[in-house]
Every structure is written in structure tokens, then in C-alpha cells.
Amino acid sequence: MTGSTPAILLVDDEPHSLQAMKMALEDEFEILTAPGAEEAMSVLEEEWVQVIFCDQRMPGRSGVDFLTEVRERWPETVRVVITGYTDSASMVAAINDAGIHQFIAKPWHPEQLLAVARNAARMFQLSRENERLTLEMRFLNSTTETRVEKRRRSLREGMGFETILRAPNSAMNAAVTLARQYASFDVPVLMTGEPGTGKTQMARAMHYGSLRSEKPFYELNISGMPEDLAMVELFGAKRGVLPGGVAKIGLAQKADRGTLYLAGIEGASPALQLALHRMLRDGTVTPVGGQEAVSTNLRLIAGAAGDLRAGVAEGRFRTDLYYALSLGEIAIPPLRARRGDVAMLAQAILSEVATSHGKPVMGFEAAALEFLENYDWPGNLRELTNEVTRMLIFAQDNVLGAELISRHILQADPSDEGADRAAEDVMTAEGTLKDRIELMEMRILRETLTRNRWNKSRAAAELGLSRVGLRAKLDRYGIADPSVATEEESD
């Protein structure tokens, strides 16, 4: 094979599936195939493979079992699973054990397969570049070290849409599709969504997917920021305006030929809105305290926590600025609408915070992921990050169990459509007094048992019940240890 063409290994026990995948990818990649795990291992021992596409259901060893061993022996190889099933147990095993980059659901489309292959090959390339820079850092002088560290940081933060973790059927997919489309067109974009939904990450991905990717990316959140400070940060200040008599260059100038992401745009004052509209219309800004306009050629991506149309209708937001910003508009879904993504996001967050705090762990128990996925996450990704970090801090084992989860999450009512998340909701809900009290009792029982790792003696003692009384209540409400239920299902 040629050294310049990325090599992809396709593993599937069905010959027609192998042939279909090969036809979709062979124009851009060197393709290797194997009908099973053992044959694939032989290929890996002989060939240098960058990416593996593996079917989950195969005779003998499953795709996750095979890719788990691949992760141990060739950790740099990017691993992708193709599956026609969405059972949570397999997803959890793939995330925790095999370090899966992405799932592809059957039936797949050739363009989808090709897009995943391109992203995976790019990820492998970035990983190798990161390793090279690590070696480079050991020998370069301090000036060069600063330059290399900036390049490493950009690699570490992620430079594209492949860093936005999501499941095959995620509600985030539509937003990513729109963002990819707008990224290559040099126009302003307005992103709307609740705080903590990942708007900054999406803006950064758009920058690195645009023709401005080699130029700087800056971000500023003006939510709650005083008008004078926001003006200085954005447009700079002439000498003599700030304490100390120094001049300041604003982000609008620093981001010249690059991208500026401005969060909290809904809170911009009337004067700031006017200045932003002039910047978009004329390509100029005036530093605070100055008279002369300074030109800037930046791309502005704005983020709003709510619907700006309401602000326009109420006269709080300029109509001309709204239409200047919203040539492209993307709605970022909240985490409660992405329940299938929570397991992947939680594992990625855990890996990051574990490395940051120097506390190695393997992942989550299946029951813990079930509780995390069931919760509505009103604080979105920030709340999930806080919860995972807190679980890591108190963890005694290398696999995080459900007993580490906060009590209000454990008490959430399991439901496919989400649930009431606080006692106040139950207090104000419809229904008889008996029904509402039983709902509260069921949540308390479930939370107490989970926190005590389903030790019924300890749970009964904490609740002031006998073991017989506790058993009667569990039977009444149909509450069972999820780990036992999982084992019975597998048997």
C-alpha cells in the first residue's frame, strides 16, 4: 500500500456488507478487509491501519470485544462500530471498554460512511501530530516552545465538528448539519439555545471548518457585562481612557480575518447594538475615546440564550441588527432532548476530569449511566460536568456507581419523556393525595436503595422500616435492583 493513503480495515462476517463498504470508501482510502475478529488481528499485525470499521454482531467475538483488545494493543487506531441494534448495554460497553469514536446505525448511506471515514482519518492524523509536537517540545528553545504549545492546545481543544459527541440519532445532528453548511460561507450566524448547550464549541468548530481556519478565533460572553466594559473589550480604547494611560486593542481588531464568537448577545445595550450593526454593515469600529474608525474583516457568530424575535417584537433588540446576525440561524438543542448522547458525553467528561485531577478510572456502571440519561439536566453540559466531577471526587473504585449520583437525580421518576425533577413538582401536580404521596414514596425508596448499593438492611434501617416492610413496598411499586434484572435478562 502507499504510505500517503490512509488505510482502513473493514471487519464484517457478511461478504456483501464488506463489498458495499469497500465500494463506498476505496476511491479515497486503502481498504483492507477481514471476515472476523481473528482474521482482523492477523491483518493488524502485518499492516499499519489508521481506522477500523467493525460490525458489532459477529459469530465468535463481538465487535466491542475485538475493539477492546485493539484499544490495548494499538490505542492510536480510531475505532468505529456499525450496528443495527441500540441496546444500552452494548453502547455502555463500547464507550467504557473499547473507546469507540462513533457509532454508525444500519442501514447506512455511502456518503455518511465516507464522512465518518474522513473525520476518523483526520482524528488519527491530529493524534500523530500531537505526539510529534510532544517530542518537539523536549528539544526546542523557549520561544519555539510557546509556538508549539499554542498548536498543541488547538489540537487538544479540537478543531472540527468531529469533536461534538453525539449518537447516530441525536437531536444535535440537525444543528451540526446546518453548522457545516454555514461554515464554508463567510456570513454572520446566530446560534440560539439554553446556557451550557455547547454553542461555543459549535462556533469553534464552524471557525475551523471555514476558510478562516488559519486565522485567530476569539470568544467573549457579554451576558451581565457592563456596557462600558463590553465596549472596551470589543472595540478597544485610545490612550488615556483606561487607568494607567495605556491603549487597548479590542477583540474586533484582534479577530481581523478570523472569527469572533459573541455570547449573550440578547443582553447587549442599545449603544452596543448600534456599534455592532455598524461593524457588520461597514466593516469598521471606533475605539472608546477615539474619533477615527478602524477597519476590521471578521466573521461574527453570535450566541443568544433565548429567542431574539421576542426582543425585537418588544423593542429591546434592534430589528436591523437581528436580521444582520440571523442570515444563518442555528438552534442548539438542550441536553434533555439528547438523552441518547448523555452516556457518551459523561464518559468523555470523566476521561477529561480524571486526567486533569490525576485520578484514573475506567468508566461508569450501567445503572449510573441509566440514572444520568434519565435526568433532564436543566443546567445542560455545565451541570453534567459538575455532577461527573463530583462523582469522581468521591469515587472509591475505578468504576463509578450510581450511589455516587446526587440525590435529586436519583429521585427523578424514570420516564421515556423525561420527568418531574423536584419535590415541588409533585406537590403541585394533579392527582389524589394518595397518588402523590405514593409517587414521593417510590422516589425516596429508589434513591435510598441506590445510594446504599441495594443493601436492603441498611436501606430499611435508614428509612425506619423492617426488611419485611421494605420488601412489601418494593413489590408494591415494582422496584427491583437493575443489576439483578440485567443479569436475569442475559441468562
Mean pLDDT for the chain overall: 83
Q: Which residue has the higher pLDDT, 354 or 85?
A: 354
Q: Could you report the per-residue pLDDT of 278-331, keeping only the tens digit for each? A: 999 999 999 998 888 899 999 999 999 988 899 999 999 999 999 999 888 999
Confidence check: pLDDT of 208 > 80? yes
Average confidence (pLDDT) over 372-392:
93
CB-CB neighbours of 425 under 10 Å: 12
Distance in angstroms (rounded) separating the CA atoms of residues 422 and 378: 12
CB-CB neighbours of 261 under 10 Å: 26
Per-residue b or e along 81-119, where b marks 16 or more CB atoms closer than 10 Å to that residue's CB: bbbeeeeeebbbbbbbbbbbbbbbeeebeeeebeebbbb
Distance in angstroms (rounded) separating the CA atoms of residues 156 and 439: 46
Whether the Cβ atoms of residue 40 and residue 65 lie closer than 8 Å to each other: no
Whether the Cβ atoms of residue 335 and residue 385 lie closer than 8 Å to each other: no
Whether the Cβ atoms of residue 90 and residue 64 lie closer than 8 Å to each other: yes
Q: How confident is the model at residue 155 (pLDDT cuts 50, 70, 90)?
A: very low
Residue type, 479: I
Distance in angstroms (rounded) separating the CA atoms of residues 125 and 320: 43
Residue type, 278: R
Confidence check: pLDDT of 48 > 50? yes
Residue type, 145: E
Q: Look at residue 418 in the predicted model and tell me its pLDDT.
A: 41
Average confidence (pLDDT) over 381-410:
91
Q: Look at residue 454 in the predicted model and tell me its pLDDT.
A: 75
- Over the Cα atoms of the chain, what is R_g? 26
Written as nine digits, the cell of 128 is 500523530
Q: Could you give phi then psi for residue 264, rounded to 5 degrees?
A: 70, 30
Q: Look at residue 270 in the predicted model and tell me its pLDDT.
A: 94
Written as nine digits, the cell of 93 is 460497553
Q: How confident is the model at residue 41 (pLDDT cuts 50, 70, 90)?
A: very high
Distance in angstroms (rounded) separating the CA atoms of residues 338 and 348: 15
Helix, strand, or coil (residue 335): helix
Average confidence (pLDDT) over 332-342:
90
Helix, strand, or coil (residue 396): coil
Please report, rounded to a whole number, the percentage of residues in the chain having pLDDT higher than 70.
Answer: 84
Confidence check: pLDDT of 260 > 60? yes
439 secondary structure, DSSP code: H
Written as nine digits, the cell of 194 is 439554553
Nearest to 189 by CA among 67, 328, 83: 328
Note the pTM of the prediction, 2 decimals: 0.59
Q: Look at residue 91 in the predicted model and tell me its pLDDT.
A: 66
Q: Look at residue 415 in the predicted model and tell me its pLDDT.
A: 46
Average confidence (pLDDT) over 457-477:
79
Torsion of CA 8, 9, 13, 16, to 10 degrees: 30
Q: Could you report the per-residue pLDDT of 226-250, keeping only the tens digit for each? A: 999 999 999 999 888 888 778 889 9
363: left (phi over 0), alpha (psi -120 to 50) or beta: left
Pairing of strands 328-331, 299-304: unpaired
Q: What does 40-107 look like in DSSP terms, one character per residue?
A: HHHHHHHS--SEEEEESS-SSS-HHHHHHHHHHH-TTSEEEEEES---HHHHHHIIIII--SEEEESS
Confidence check: pLDDT of 148 > 70? no
Q: How confident is the model at residue 64 (pLDDT cuts 50, 70, 90)?
A: confident
Q: Look at residue 416 in the predicted model and tell me its pLDDT.
A: 45
Distance in angstroms (rounded) separating the CA atoms of residues 89 and 106: 18
